[in-house]
Amino acid sequence: MRIAVVQQPPVLLNREATLMCAVAAIEEAAGQGAEVVVFPEAFVPGYPIWIWRLRPGSDMALAEELHDRLLRNAINLDGEDLAPLFDAARLHGVTVVCGINERDADFSRGTLYNSVVVIGPDGALLNRHRKLMPTNPERMIWGFGDATGLKVLDTPVGRIGTLVCWENYMPLARYALFAQGIEILIAPTYDAGKKWLGTLEHIAREGGCWVVGCGLALRAADLPEDFPGRAEFYPDPEEWINSGDSVVIAPEGLIEVGPLHAEQGILYGEIDTSRVGLARRSLDVAGHYARPDVFQLKVNNRKQAPVNFADAQAGHDEPPPLGSASP
């Protein structure tokens, strides 16, 4: 199976333009024989890079302007915002994994989540996973996800699961996927560098699975001309804001392809899922190497909600009016 890891920049804070870039990348990758196409963390409409340079407690007007643009260009999965990706996946018959800024459509409709979606080759949404723990200043942007999307999916190319960026440092989150028989762990990320690559190598060796890291390669020159704070925070157009370092790692923990460093493009790799079983012959951390009599993991994968309306629950009658006597 051939996988394409897209290390190209979004049109930051522009949903429609970024989706057109994604559609073009899917077409290019499919033309090169790819069956899976992967995009970086929060690719649509882009990772909020400014959170690492704004002064905490200051620059409030600029922070609000940037957040307003992000909110208006985020994805509502209950609508048609991702239709171009669904259509492209179906047209080319590929599985698509893409990071998005997701706008809550169930409750307040004002909270954003760092989510990753898996789209099947029929154009159907297979899974939505919200990042469990936003990292440090990311908590000023994104809410906390739950475990409803912490699952491994059967796809035409193998059993796929996703963890976003530093979620991959969470041993229990990894173990939850290992226990579901994951074959390909896809890690959309904003991280890069030797330490991050070492982490992904360890995960591949620990889980006996393929690990695909999809990083963001972004220069200051890639920022739109009207990007708020561009001149102040990114004055050098040649600066690499993020170097990417996308990579494909085999179940033995050895890098097969990449890393693609300080370069924009599409990284292609060949994945043979039969190597997963062989890698777990001597070490299967959720199988013969587990000790369930000593250790057990409990995962709450129920949907978390800030409010439950009794009249919306099946089998419940309308509650009596406020102030009326109870029966």
What pLDDT is stored for residue 313 in this prediction?
Answer: 58
Answer yes or no: 41 catalytic. yes
Nearest to 117 by CA among 90, 166, 153, 158: 153
Q: Of residues 21, 35, 41, 102, which has the active-site annotation? A: 41
**pLDDT-based confidence at 315, cuts 50/70/90?**
low
Cβ–Cβ < 8 Å for 62, 120: no
What pLDDT is stored for residue 323 in this prediction?
Answer: 43
What pLDDT is stored for residue 118 in this prediction?
Answer: 98
pLDDT for 266-287, tens place per residue?
Answer: 999 999 999 999 999 999 999 9
| Domain spanning 2-304, CATH class | alpha beta
Answer yes or no: 165 catalytic. yes
The least confident of 85-89, 108-112, 129-133, 186-190 is 108-112
Q: Of residues 102, 131, 151, 167, which has the active-site annotation? A: 131
pLDDT for 145-186, tens place per residue?
Answer: 999 999 999 998 999 999 999 999 999 999 999 999 999 999
Q: Which residues, 6+ apart, have CB-to-CB distance to 282 below 8 Å?
A: none
What pLDDT is stored for residue 55 in this prediction?
Answer: 72
The least confident of 176-190, 221-235, 240-254 is 221-235
Q: Are strands 240-249 and 217-219 parallel, antiparallel or unpaired?
A: antiparallel
Instruction: Please give the average per-residue pLDDT across 291-305, as a whole number.
Output: 92
Answer yes or no: 209 catalytic. no
pTM: 0.90
Q: Of residues 21, 35, 151, 165, which has the active-site annotation? A: 165
Q: Which residues, 6+ apart, have CB-to-CB distance to 185 below 8 Å?
A: 161, 162, 163, 174, 177, 203, 204, 207, 209, 210, 211, 212
What residue has token string 């809410």?
A: 143
Cβ–Cβ < 8 Å for 310, 316: yes
What pLDDT is stored for residue 305 in this prediction?
Answer: 86
The percent of residues in the chain predicted with pLDDT above 90, rounded, is: 84
pLDDT for 61-74, tens place per residue?
Answer: 898 999 999 999 99
Comparing 1 with 56, the larger pLDDT belongs to: 1
Q: Is the pLDDT of residue 5 over 90?
A: yes
The CA dihedral of 268, 93, 131, 56, to the nearest 10 degrees, is 70
What pLDDT is stored for residue 322 in this prediction?
Answer: 44
Question: CA–CA separation, 220 vs 175, rounded Å?
Answer: 37
**pLDDT-based confidence at 326, cuts 50/70/90?**
very low
Q: Is the pLDDT of residue 222 over 60?
A: yes
- Sheet strands side by side (includes 125-130): 125-130, 112-119, 95-103, 36-38, 2-7, 265-270
Question: CA–CA separation, 311 vs 325, rounded Å?
Answer: 18
pLDDT for 12-61, tens place per residue?
Answer: 999 999 999 999 999 999 999 999 999 999 999 999 999 998 876 678 88
